[in-house]
Structure 1
Amino acid sequence: MDIDVNVIEKMVRQAIADVSKENGYPTVTVHGPVGNYGVFDTMDGAIEASVIAQKELLHSTMAQRQKYVDTIRATVLNKANLEMISMLSVEETEIGKYEHKLIKNRLAAEKTPGTEDLITEAKTGDNGLTLIEYCPFGVIGAITPTTNPTETVICNSISMIAGGNTVVFSPHPRATKVTHLLIQMLNKALDEVGAPKNLITTVKEPSIENTNAMCEHPKIRMLVATGGPSIVRKVMSTGKKAIGAGAGNPPVVVDETADIEKAAKDIVDGCSFDNNVPCIAEKEVFAVDQICDYLIHCMKQNGAYEMKDPAMVEKLDALVTNEKGGPKVEFVGKSAKYILDKLGIQVGDDIRVIIMETNKNHHLVTEEMMMPILPIVRCNDVDEAIDDAYEAEHGNRHTAMMHSRNVEKLTKMAKLLETTIFVKNAPSYAGIGVGGEGHTTFTIAGPTGEGLTSARSFCRKRKCVMADALHIR
């Protein structure tokens, strides 16, 4: 794909102007540059506007909040908008696959809970009635990654506004244009339905300095970081309420009781989804020796390319690894075909994942690479596989998968790894609602314990007491 980003921006502007009222998103005429409708020249400006908006939102009814949530959904789900933000996300960041961005953006719009997530607790007795309700924190500062830029803005905006908060985004600089366009698009639609202006804001030029300014600003009540370990540590060290969605290195265990053919397909499907960018995606496999050869055979039948030469495996590792031992940015989210081509290996578009056998201490096993490279470790038995998976996950407690019919061993792995998401006999993406039950989010807070965030994650629990009354039992 080789498309001029400026051309896409013009197309997006036209798409916004041409949006059909039939889909619930009002027609909006586009005026002016990107620097309005929530995009501010300075971080202070973005925060001050958000403070004003939150004070107004605080007095909105729950029905009004839900209307704003529904407007965000309808705006994203409009076909022209959905296609444009998905295309521009891939074009600008050079990460992931357009077809999968479509799925993820749609998922964020459709399956992120709104105000229905804010369940009221009521306690009554001889001493009266007590209500415990989820209430706003205020203005939230949210840091978004280059890997899921639009998906994170969509799900966070829905959840935070449903909770009565406003949000200031500090996006990754390599996703500036698509983030600006999405935020502008959402604010235009919200403005048309009478929402407070600037429910969603950001800064014109994202930078580390602007992120620091946001984190330190006294009017930011909560910080939410979706990204790597360093940015999570940053928000957790501010002294503010912080939610950190950090790194993972999700392992997969396959034992001798599994449906091997299905497991092979599920693993390739999950690992290759958006070119392995999701933090939940399969990053290494631990397979019981008894079924390992057949598993590899079946994976090759489903789009895996097996690299057998140990020297070539090391060459691959060197190609995609930076001097600090992490993934090279230029290979994150690239396709298997693209990576193999850089090694002089030509394959067809049907090749989605690169697999190879390694030992459990190999760099490709221990480091989260976020590209469709999947090392396979042969284990003597399922207990060894579970133990090795525990080591490879590094205590991130993020995501793990297991393919097995042995309930005892499934339970053992779930208890040992303590991951936020544990997927049994399905691709990893079932854990965020693609082919699995439950709501979705792209802010999965393992380090701070909120898990799959939703509206209530961004709220305070408050207690309202009426003594000696309204107990009618």
Structure 2
Amino acid sequence: MAGIIHDVLAELQQGARKRQDPNAKQHGVFRTVDDAVSAAQIAHQTLVAIPLEKRKEIIANIRKRAAEDVHTLAEMAHEETGLGRVEDKIKKNLLVIHKTPGPEILQPIAYTGDDGLALIERAPFGVVASITPCTNPTETILNNGIGMVSGGNAVTFNTHPAAKGVSAYCVDLINRASMEVGGPSNIMTCIHTPTIDSAGALMHHKGTPLVVVTGGGGVVKAAMQSGKKCVAAGPGNPPVVVDETADLDRAARGIYNGASFDNNIICTDEKEVMAVEKIFDPLLERIESLGAVRLRNHQIRRLESLILTPDRMHTNRDWIGKCPSEMLKAIDVPFRGDPRLIVCDVPFEHPFVQLELLMPVIGFVRCADVHQAIDKAVEAEHGYRHTASMYSRNIESLHRMARAVNCSIFIKNASNYAGLGFGGEGYTSFTIASPTGDGLTTARTFTRERRCTLSGYFRIV
């Protein structure tokens, strides 16, 4: 993956592609839900009628054109949403472009025996209704879109209003890539001015048999009440456990790099750390040495007032995805350079532990031993069953943590993004559908199983 990023960034340093003229026609962008779904239905009918090799060619060209435009996608997302870091958004987009599974994951299964042949294949649903977030707007469109189209579906997106511009740009780019190799336009469509009402209309539209949502608890609940098959990716609060056997240098680097990645707006990013007392201070010292800023006493109280609501029950959305430097300036704490992470020694009940902040701020909790650390991690994860990680050399402790936390993603001795395939093996997904039990979604998730049986024939051995 590092080699891919290096090659693409080298290309981009020679000059990024110019953005499309904002006044030019955008393929796939429609004023109404009805128009967007209708156009996607026509595209779906065309898609299932063309050869599978053409579908593979379409997916390959989407990857190619998106990689060529990755710098623009990252810059536009940052400019429009104000969240995260451009350099990290480039990495996220490249990850989904290159490691989202395509048609190759939809291999047929055959059973033969005395009674003949049974063939099982994956079939499309039709037009998928997809709700996307502002935290990972283009990443989710590319990741969902590649998987859905690989399965023979078209998709209509209701994108987050705070990222509607870059989302429309991304949808247009994808449709142009399809048309460029002889595929249909409108394989992905979106609403020009998305709202809560348009999201509801899309989820309940008679032309969308499958609903896929990536977002908070509210949109997950709405999707589950749509009366349709639902694939829902909800919130997470990923805990990290560090025990006394851990490689502390590795743990410090992993936590620092992971919790600071794109200013912690990815749902899988490290959100709180449970560290055994014996190694607590050495671990924090190592993280500080990497460039993190550690707050104490009144500094923590000032930060609380800045990034939490007055009741301390919610985050102040104005600070989601902002850089530590902005927060430190606001609370009058000196710093050097461009720090990527703020760390705080806080009790377990503190909001920096219990809330999914989506900021580069992480609470560290002192624990008596590994057993207490694991128990507290399970409690802080709140039963989302999303993501968790642990640094340890003790196989028994790693085993206990994996079973106890029961998450879709569990990472051992690495940054959490390794669980998405960034610095770790396996494919990627930006829709982690823990609430509906689908885990990391792929083209298989967005297809339905069909069986064809021929009785008495075609067993050839």
Q: Do these two structures clear the TM 0.5 threshold for a shared fold by scoring above it? A: yes
Secondary structure in 2 aligned to 1:65? helix
Which of 391, 396, 408 in structure 1 is aligned with 2:379?
Answer: 391
Secondary structure in 2 aligned to 1:349? coil
The answer to whether the Cα contact below 8 Å between 1:131 and 1:463 also exists between their aligned partners in 2 is: yes
Q: Give the structure 2 partner of residue 73 of structure 1.
A: 63
The answer to whether the Cα contact below 8 Å between 2:16 and 2:71 also exists between their aligned partners in 1 is: no
Which of 29, 32, 47 in structure 2 is aligned with 1:39?
Answer: 29
The answer to whether the Cα contact below 8 Å between 1:169 and 1:200 also exists between their aligned partners in 2 is: yes
Secondary structure in 1 aligned to 2:156? strand
Secondary structure in 2 aligned to 1:299? helix
Question: Do structure 1's residue 417 and structure 2's residue 390 form an aligned pair?
Answer: no
Residues in 1 aligned to 2:290 and 2:180: alpha-carbon distance in whole angstroms: 47
The answer to whether the Cα contact below 8 Å between 1:35 and 1:204 also exists between their aligned partners in 2 is: no
Which of 371, 374, 395 in structure 1 is aligned with 2:362?
Answer: 374
Question: Do structure 1's residue 210 and structure 2's residue 198 form an aligned pair?
Answer: yes
Which has the larger displacement, 375-384 or 192-201? 192-201
Q: Once the two structures are superposed, what CA deviation does each residue of 1:65-84 show, in whole Å capped at 9, x if it has no partner?
A: 11111011001111xx1111
Aligned length: 446
Which of 303, 316, 322 in structure 2 is aligned with 1:316?
Answer: 303
Equivalent residue letter for 2:306 = L
Equivalent residue letter for 1:303 = G
Which structure 2 residue ranges, 5 or more long, are not aligned? 1-14
**Aligned counterparts, 1:92-131, within 5 A:** 92-131=80-119
The answer to whether the Cα contact below 8 Å between 2:26 and 2:168 also exists between their aligned partners in 1 is: no
**Deviation of the 1:318 alpha carbon:** 2.1
Residues in 2 aligned to 1:234 and 1:424: alpha-carbon distance in whole angstroms: 34
Residues in 2 aligned to 1:202 and 1:349: alpha-carbon distance in whole angstroms: 40
**Deviation of the 1:453 alpha carbon:** 0.6
Residues in 2 aligned to 1:322 and 1:52: alpha-carbon distance in whole angstroms: 47
**Deviation of the 1:41 alpha carbon:** 1.2
The answer to whether the Cα contact below 8 Å between 2:26 and 2:169 also exists between their aligned partners in 1 is: no
**Aligned counterparts, 1:6-405, within 5 A:** 14-15=18-19, 33=23, 36-78=26-68, 81-309=69-297, 311-323=298-310, 325-405=313-393
Residues in 1 aligned to 2:155 and 2:19: alpha-carbon distance in whole angstroms: 25
Residues in 1 aligned to 2:229 and 2:336: alpha-carbon distance in whole angstroms: 48
After superposing on structure 2, the runs of 4+ consecutive aligned residues of structure 1 that deviate more than 6 Å are none
Equivalent residue letter for 1:65 = R
**Deviation of the 1:326 alpha carbon:** 1.9
The answer to whether the Cα contact below 8 Å between 1:34 and 1:181 also exists between their aligned partners in 2 is: no
Residues in 1 aligned to 2:17 and 2:35: alpha-carbon distance in whole angstroms: 24
Equivalent residue letter for 2:393 = R
The answer to whether the Cα contact below 8 Å between 1:300 and 1:306 also exists between their aligned partners in 2 is: yes
Equivalent residue letter for 1:342 = A
**Deviation of the 1:262 alpha carbon:** 1.1
Residues in 2 aligned to 1:358 and 1:152: alpha-carbon distance in whole angstroms: 33
Residues in 2 aligned to 1:218 and 1:40: alpha-carbon distance in whole angstroms: 18
Secondary structure in 1 aligned to 2:90? helix
Q: Once the two structures are superposed, what CA deviation does each residue of 1:150-170 show, in whole Å capped at 9, x if it has no partner?
A: 000011110000000000010
The answer to whether the Cα contact below 8 Å between 1:337 and 1:346 also exists between their aligned partners in 2 is: no
**Deviation of the 1:357 alpha carbon:** 0.9
Q: Once the two structures are superposed, what CA deviation does each residue of 1:126-159 show, in whole Å capped at 9, x if it has no partner?
A: 1100011111011001001000000000111100
Residues in 1 aligned to 2:161 and 2:102: alpha-carbon distance in whole angstroms: 29
Residues in 2 aligned to 1:210 and 1:131: alpha-carbon distance in whole angstroms: 40
Q: Once the two structures are superposed, what CA deviation does each residue of 1:267-319 show, in whole Å capped at 9, x if it has no partner?
A: 0100000000110001000000010010011010112111121x321221121
The answer to whether the Cα contact below 8 Å between 2:124 and 2:446 also exists between their aligned partners in 1 is: yes
Structure 1 residues 35, 215: CA separation in 2 closer, same or farther (over 3 Å shift)?
Answer: farther
Q: Give the structure 2 partner of residue 6 of structure 1.
A: none
Q: Once the two structures are superposed, what CA deviation does each residue of 1:327-369 show, in whole Å capped at 9, x if it has no partner?
A: 2221111111111111012322342111111111111110100
The answer to whether the Cα contact below 8 Å between 1:140 and 1:223 also exists between their aligned partners in 2 is: yes
Question: Do structure 1's residue 407 and structure 2's residue 434 form an aligned pair?
Answer: no
Structure 1 vs Structure 2: percent identity of aligned residues? 42
**Deviation of the 1:60 alpha carbon:** 2.1
Q: What TM-score, normalized to structure 2?
A: 0.95
Q: Once the two structures are superposed, what CA deviation does each residue of 1:217-247 show, in whole Å capped at 9, x if it has no partner?
A: 0110101100101101111111101100110
Which has the larger displacement, 376-385 or 183-192? 183-192
Secondary structure in 2 aligned to 1:369? coil
Residues in 1 aligned to 2:104 and 2:338: alpha-carbon distance in whole angstroms: 42
The answer to whether the Cα contact below 8 Å between 2:17 and 2:72 also exists between their aligned partners in 1 is: no
The answer to whether the Cα contact below 8 Å between 2:175 and 2:184 also exists between their aligned partners in 1 is: no
Equivalent residue letter for 1:317 = E
